[in-house]
Amino acid sequence: MKKWLIYVLGIITGIIITFAFALYVNLSNKSGLEMFEEPGDYMEYSQFKVLQVVESGCALAHADDSFDAIVFIIPNNKQRFYDGQKIVLKSDQCAQHVGIYKYRVTMGIEKTVPAIRIIDSVERPKSDKVTTSGKTLFDKPGECVSRKNFEVQKVLESGDAIALEIREIISGHILTSDLEVLILAHEDTNFYNKQVVKAPQGTCARQIGNYKYQKYGTTKVIPIIDFK
């Protein structure tokens, strides 16, 4: 019953956030697209959720389930976007950075986000690492990053959890450090906000990869851990 309630509340929260963003964005005549002279690098995004379709059929969208990561998608001749659409890139597709898009929000603040195009038939370079949804997994586990417990700060749509290391607990109040990690979900895992994830006895939080995401307009890279 509890899991069902958490699932429903998650859906409701997503709907509220989407409508709030639609109200928040106030595209004006000063909005504009600036294209690079030459296309830039491929970005490591793997999926998008369209928030609002704007001029010329382009779309503002969340990238990789992150509320802070907004992109402006320029369609090709075959693409037609709609509000709420979820776009998952295929194995031979990439999001290429081709410019920037500026728009104003209701408080009059100007926002600048990357403009991208979804490119088909991309040959990815061979690597000994596995990359998906901003996650890069090592072929072998790395060093131990902590022997302490963690407090979940955010549960991603994938079920994985962003968490902070617990520095100490004083009178029932949890004090966290600056160490932020991504804990991968397993079949029997159901994370929730503010959950305390305890390291099993005799193990440590060992780095098994990196997770890259956008927060407040900047790119963050944090370790992916597993208790080994």
Model pLDDT for residues 7-41, shown as the tens digit of each residue: 555 555 555 444 444 444 444 444 589 999 888 88
pTM score of the predicted model? 0.48
pLDDT value, residue 23: 42
pLDDT value, residue 180: 94
Q: Regarding predicted confidence, which is higher, 9 or 113?
A: 113
Angle at 58 between CA 124 and CA 63, to 5 degrees: 50
Domain ranges of the chain: 17-119, 130-227
Give the mean pLDDT of the chain.
Answer: 81
pLDDT value, residue 28: 42
The answer to whether residue 125 scores a pLDDT higher than 60 is no
132 vs 64: CA distance, rounded Å: 10
Model pLDDT for residues 139-165, shown as the tens digit of each residue: 888 889 999 999 999 998 888 999 999
